[in-house]
Amino acid sequence: MLGDAETVRDLIRALEQVGLGAAPAEAPHAQQPQPGRAEGRPDSAADLVEALQWQVGRNPDRDHVLFYRGDAEQAGEPERLGYAALAADATRIAGGLVRRGVVPDQCVALMLPSGLDFFRCFFGVLFAGAIPVPMYPPARASQIEDHLRRQAGILRNCEAPVLVAFMRPLLRVLGGLAPSLRHIVTAEELADAPDATPLPARSEAALVQYTSGSTGDPKGVTLSHANLLANIRAYGRVLNVSSTDVCVSWLPLYHDMGLIGAWLGSLYHACPLVLMSPLDFLARPECWLWAIHRHRGTITAAPNFAFELCVKRLGDRDLAGLDLASWQIAMNGAEPVSAGTLERFADAFGRYGLRREILAPVYGLAECSLALTMTPPGRGMRTDRIERAAMTHAGRRSPAGGDTPSVDVVSCGLPLPGHEVRIVGADGRMLPERRIGQLEFRGPSATAGYFRNPAADAALFHDGWLDTGDFAYLVDGELYVTGRAKDMIIRGGRNFYPYELEQAVGELPGVRKGCVAAFGVPDAAPAGERLVVVAEMREKDAAARQALEQRIVAVSSDVLGLPADEVVLVPPHAVLKTSSGKIRRGAIREGYRHGTLGTGNRPRWVQVLRMAASGARARAGAAASGIAALVHGAWVWAWLAVLGGCAAVAVLLLPTLAQRWACCHALARLFGHLGGCPVEVSGLDSLPSGHCVFVANHASYVDGIILTAALPRPVAFVVKAELQRNRVLHVLLGRLGARFVERFDSRRSVEDARALGEAARKSPPLLFFAEGTIRREAGLLPFRLGAFQVAAQSNLPIVPLALMGTRDVLPSDSWLPRRGHRPRRRGRWGG
């Protein structure tokens, strides 16, 4: 049924056919008391894992999540998950990930529906030292190809080797389109572990949250543990969240409002989370309200459409017995907030104990972890009524008066503690209050950048401030958001935002509400852009369609003061949306330009077949690349054997160390060129002429060859004593001046250290690998201090050497050499 359903209406009809769509005859379930207070909060936790372990130590059996698998009105008791059970399950899943080759700092994709498995797998990824990447499951069968291609793009960007999913047969087509993807597994398969695997060190990154992509391709926002905890603590202080609160949510867990706001915030503050599926809410929005009634919910959050859906579907119904008096905070965010929607919501449900002052518009974005500004609790909504004409021209936004056409702009509240916002003009200068400009922010919740996307990073940061991509203005320090910068339409020297027009067109009879897109396209005329309105409808009669087009033009004139230049009527599901239901205006604009709007969606089996064909082509290309890699590897090993033999003969026969090094240096550089790994060296002019101690990072087994090719004069490598057991290596390395040191025998280590101190004052200079070993994952390993101790005792300067790119040529877990690439320089390692 989920595979065939295209709309919520389809779901409701299917539920009604099996007797699950009827309203309850009486109020469901007796009210349950609020939970007892838990002691303290994990304020000392440095990351999410420590926060969970803190709760396990103090509240192991306390209810953390209560999940309704179905309608909260009729499903009986929810599934429960406590803190200790979550940690135990996550440990087993972490073991399953490690056994499948996941290493610290790698990404693991999660494509799971709302449910307890999501929580277990999320922390399982963190326990394995990896980075979770939530991804949304397919939403519309008619757009399965578009969805899978977008998800393949996410997988390519994050290079996840493992995808945890619940629908493997369909997702196997992603394997060929995401070369790094090696395993598609279920949560049950990961948890099927007889013994828990020891957990590696945790990653600094806690999450890569991909933006919805309403204005372009999704970008991965990298959020650290510090970012998330700073945001949770800040909004917790503003809302005065405590363990006696109860959070009720239906929000999807692959978006920040549901993931960070509802779940991780509940985990940190030890307040129970009552969770239901988004599909349950969309089919029957009353289940959200009944869950608040049953569990005496105090905190919820939802986009504006959820409040509007409740009004539309439930406003005229008699929900006898419903009691919403426990509701303390109802946050409205994630999309433009409508003052009219909140007013209607308060009017419709006031008779059930809902207080108007709990309605709290908020503003946030993934780049700020979650929340940036919040309405003070208990104050209620505040609006600023300004002249409609003022929204389209630059200048001060003065309050409207009299009968002047006006628009209500909703305040999204004040910045969180420790966070700052500012409004800047096109020249980058700050604007005074009541002047619309670009909204920028900074604070401890701010991301360090997008995941593997330096081009997007360059557009994000401006002198330490982050550009939100939104236009807004301030009044008394409160934020009033007017629209997305990329959505702005410029017409006749005036600026328009599409939201109000889209809502007005959506109210017309015959137009599918919420399925309207308005955007601008370049016009050759000097007036600016042409205004295009795309609307979904089911009507096929030509006369009726023409009449509807005329009504849309009239509505455009009424709302914006100018008619739409073109109206495009398309069949259902032609207006593309993100996973959160936002209009993808950029993609629709491209479809309009290429004439593909309204051409009809391909049958689902055709889309899947096309994806399978794309995957097959990608696999064929990968196979060809694999064969080429094997040929290249054989070529490199052959030359290593030939040139290595020549080097061995030269080391054994040449009388002086300088001659041996010169010969090895020339052969090593030749090997780099023949092996497709030319050596580039910078900073040779900085080498001291006298005695010194070299220290290098250790990234690959080829580091010794590369350093021999890079350094023009002899150095004495400090190598592990185990190599002395190989007679050939012992002789060759000895004639090149190498020094052997014991790593495990403490008495021998002291003697070797004294010998190194004496050798440091002689020629050739010593060269240490400070890390002492190599691993595949990026970044530096813990340093050994031998080189620094020897240099300090001998009063010699340290010369740091930075090796870049050798790990890509020969990783620690592979003996197949690959071609080298010019490394992207990140600055010098050392001083």
Q: What is the CATH number of the domain that holds 549?
A: 3.30.300.30
What is the pLDDT, as a whole number, of residue 350?
A: 93
Same domain, 551 and 677: no
Same domain, residue pair 232 and 340: yes
Identify whether 326 is part of a domain.
Answer: yes
For CA atoms 602, 608, 609, 615, give the dihedral sign: positive
Query: In which region does residue 491 sit, left (phi positive, over 0), alpha (psi from -120 to 50) or beta (all else)?
Result: beta
Q: Which two tokens stand for residue 61?
A: 């059996």
Q: Can you tell me the mean pLDDT for 223-228?
A: 96
Band the pLDDT of 26: cuts 50, 70, 90: very low
Choosing from 340, 374, 408, the residue where a domain stops is 374
- Torsion angle, alpha carbons of 752, 758, 762, 768, to 10: 40
Residue 222: pLDDT band with limits 50, 70, 90:
very high
DSSP class per residue in 759-823: HTTSSSPEEEETT-S--SSSSPPPPP-HHHHHHHHHT--EEEE---SHHHHS-TT--------PP
- pLDDT category, 650, cuts 50, 70, 90? very high
Residue 217 has pLDDT above 70, yes or no: no
Cis before 498? omega within 30: no
**Structure-model confidence comparison of residues 393 and 54, the more confident one:** 54
When mean pLDDT is compared over 338-342, 358-362, 405-409, 764-768, the highest value belongs to: 358-362
Same domain, 587 and 662: no
Residue 524's domain comprises 491-593
How many Å apart are CA 144 and CA 108, to the nearest integer?
22
CATH code of residue 754: 3.40.1130.10
Q: pLDDT of 543-575, one tens digit each?
A: 888 888 888 888 888 777 778 888 888 888 778
Question: Concatenated DSSP letters for 78-113?
Answer: PEEEEHHHHHHHHHHHHHHHHHTT--TT-EEEEE--
pLDDT at 353: 94
Write down the pLDDT at residue 827. Answer: 36
Task: Kindly list the distances between the CA atom of residue 802 and the CA atoms of 34, 260, 466, 682, 769, in Å, as whole numbers in the listed order.
Answer: 58, 39, 32, 10, 11
221 and 312 in a single domain? The answer is: yes
Q: Is residue 435 one of the residues assigned to a domain?
A: no
Give bridge partners of residue 491 from the DSSP assignment: 494, 528
Same domain for 578 and 679? no
Q: Do 187 and 77 share a structural domain?
A: yes
Please state whether the predicted TM-score (pTM) of the whole model is above 0.85.
Answer: no
Q: How confident is the model at residue 492 (pLDDT cuts 50, 70, 90)?
A: low
CATH number, position 56: 3.40.50.12780
Q: Mean of the per-residue pLDDT values for the chain?
A: 82
Residue 510 — pLDDT band, cuts 50, 70, 90?
confident
**Whether residues 659 and 578 fall in one domain:** no
In a shared domain, residues 574 and 652: no
Would you state the pLDDT for residue 828? 34
Contacts of residue 439, defined as CB under 8 A and 6 or more positions apart, other chains included, come to 421, 422, 423, 467, 468, 470, 471, 472, 479, 481
Question: Predicted confidence band at 215 (pLDDT cuts at 50, 70, 90)?
Answer: very low
- Between CA 457 and CA 448 the distance in angstroms is 9
Longest alpha-carbon distance in the chain = 101
- Within a domain: residue 453? no
Q: Is residue 194 part of a domain?
A: yes
Give the Cβ contact number of residue 822 at 10 Å.
9
Q: Give the mean model confidence (pLDDT) for residues 328-349.
A: 91
> What is the Cα 489 distance to its own chain's centre?
29
If asked whether residues 567 and 711 sit together in one domain, one would say: no
Same-domain status, 709 and 589: no
Mean pLDDT of 516-541: 78
Are residues 269 and 359 both part of a single domain?
yes
664 shares its domain with 573:
no
- In sequence order, which residues have a C-beta less than 8 Å from that of residue 415 and are 6 or more positions away? 372, 373, 421, 441, 443, 477, 479
The three-state secondary structure class of 50 is helix
- pLDDT at 326 (0 to 100): 95
Alpha helices by DSSP H, 212-256: 225-239, 256
* 10 inside domain: no
What integer pLDDT is reported at residue 593 of this predicted model? 80
Of 520, 595, 513, residue with least CA distance to 565: 520
Of residues 329, 203, 333, 308, the one with CA closest to residue 256: 333
- Structure token pair of residue 156: 């390519």
Number of domains comprising the chain: 3
**Distance between CA atoms of residues 281 and 511, nearest Å:** 23
Domain closes at, from 374, 403, 425: 374
Identify whether 191 is part of a domain.
yes
List pLDDT tens digits, range 271-314.
999 999 988 898 889 999 999 999 999 999 999 989 989 998 99
Q: Say which range, 101-115, 163-177, 465-479, has the weakest mean pLDDT.
A: 163-177
Domain membership of residue 475 (yes or no) is no
Q: What are the pLDDT digits (tens) for 714-723?
A: 998 988 888 8
Q: Does residue 408 sit within a domain?
A: no
At which of 374, 395, 415 does a domain end? Answer: 374
Kindly state the DSSP code that residue 466 receives in the 8-state scheme.
E
Burial of 493 (0-12, 13-18, 19+ CB in 10 A): exposed
- Which pLDDT does position 675 carry in this prediction? 84
- Cβ partners under 8 Å of residue 272, min gap 6: 35, 62, 63, 64, 65, 66, 246, 247, 266, 295
